[in-house]
Amino acid sequence: MRSRYTAYTLRNSDYLLGTWHPAYRPASLEFMTDQKWLGLKIMAIAAGQVGDDQGNVEFVARYKIAGRAHRLHEISQFEKLGGRWVYLHGE
């Protein structure tokens, strides 16, 4: 989760798409040029440990667009695919 957040802050679409489950991955990503990420807080983790195949991460990411503050609160679902954790989707 933290590496994907960092990839968003760096606008690293290759990393984001590479860590997205192929069944859910979009064809491409577009970033807002005036979006500034301010921080990530992990609220809860369910499963997702070494012996698990799936896990959830609840987080809040803060950002600004045109000087206005916003929050993204999501529960992300991840799955281990080929030994790597990949993002499925979020609620």
- On whether the CB atoms of residues 19 and 86 are closer than 8 A, the answer is yes
> Does pTM top 0.85 for this prediction?
yes
Give the residue numbers spanning the domain of 6: 2-90
- On whether the CB atoms of residues 24 and 89 are closer than 8 A, the answer is yes
Q: Domain holding 18: CATH number?
A: 3.10.450.50
Rg (CA), the chain: 13
- Model confidence pLDDT, tens digit, residues 34-84: 999 999 999 999 999 888 999 999 999 999 999 999 999 999 999 999 999
Give me the number of domains the chain comprises.
1
pLDDT at 11 over 90: yes
- Model confidence pLDDT, tens digit, residues 12-37: 999 999 999 999 999 999 999 899 99
Could you write out the three-class secondary structure of 50-61?
CCCCEEEEEEEE
Question: In 3-91, where do the E strands start and end?
Answer: 35-47, 54-65, 68-81, 84-90
